[in-house]
Amino acid sequence: MTWRPAFWLVAAGVVVADQATKQWALHALEPGDKHQILGDWLSIQLVYNSGAAFSLGHQSTWLLTIVAVLVTAAIVYYARRAQATWAAILFGVALGGAIGNLVDRLFRQPSFGQGHVVDMINYGDHFIGNVADIAIVGAAIVIVGAGLFSKQVIEPADGDDAADASDAPSEQHDTTDERG
C-alpha cells in the first residue's frame, strides 16, 4: 500500500490544475470569444456546460451530479485494488478529473448540485473541454489500453480468484499421518 500517498497527491494535483485553469479562464476570457492557438485545430473559448460530454443531458444537471458522485466513489473503491504504483497514479488522475468537474457541479451557478462546468479548450469546434476532462479521458484510454495489452490494473475481487485458480499450479498436501 505504499502507493496511497501518490494516489491522493496526484488526485489533488489534478484538481488544483483544473480549478486554477478554470479560474484563469473566468478572469481572462469573455464567454463565447474564441482565441486561436493552433489555427482551426485548437483554441481557447470560455463556455459554461450544464451537460456532460458534447452537452448531452444539459437539462438533467442534477442527475449528472449524482452520477459524478457515484463515479468518484467507484474510482476510490477500485483504486484500493490497484496492482502497482502506476495503476494507483492512473486512478489518482481519474479521481482528480472527476472531482474537478464535480466541484463545478456542486458549487458553481446556477445552484448547488446544478452548477455548470467551466470549459475552455476548444478542439476544432468538435467539443470544448477542460483539464478535468483531459484527465478523465486520458486515464480511461490508458486503462483500456492496459487491458488490451493484458496489463492487470486492479487485483481480482475475492470471488474472481476461482477463474484464475485453474491456471495456477496447485500444491498438494499429503494429509496422511506418517506415524502409521
- Overall number of domains in the chain: 1
Q: Is residue 67 part of a domain?
A: yes
CB 115 within 8 A of CB 104: yes
Contacts for 169 with CB less than 8 Å, ≥ 6 apart: none
Residues 6 or more apart whose Cβ sits within 8 Å of residue 138: 93
> Active site residue: 133, 158, 164, 177, which one?
133
Q: Is 133 marked active-site? A: yes
Beta-carbon contacts of residue 2 (< 8 Å; ≥ 6 apart): 85
Range of the domain at 41: 7-153
Residue 81: pLDDT band with limits 50, 70, 90: confident
pLDDT (tens digit, 9 = 90+) per residue, 4-56? Answer: 889 999 999 999 999 999 999 999 999 989 999 999 999 999 999 876 554 55
| Catalytic residue check, 18 | no
| pTM for this model (two decimals) | 0.79
Residue 79 falls within a domain, yes or no?
A: yes
pLDDT at 125: 92
Residue from 119, 158, 167, 177 carrying the catalytic annotation = 119
Q: How many CB atoms lie within 10 A of CB 74?
A: 13
In a domain? residue 172: no
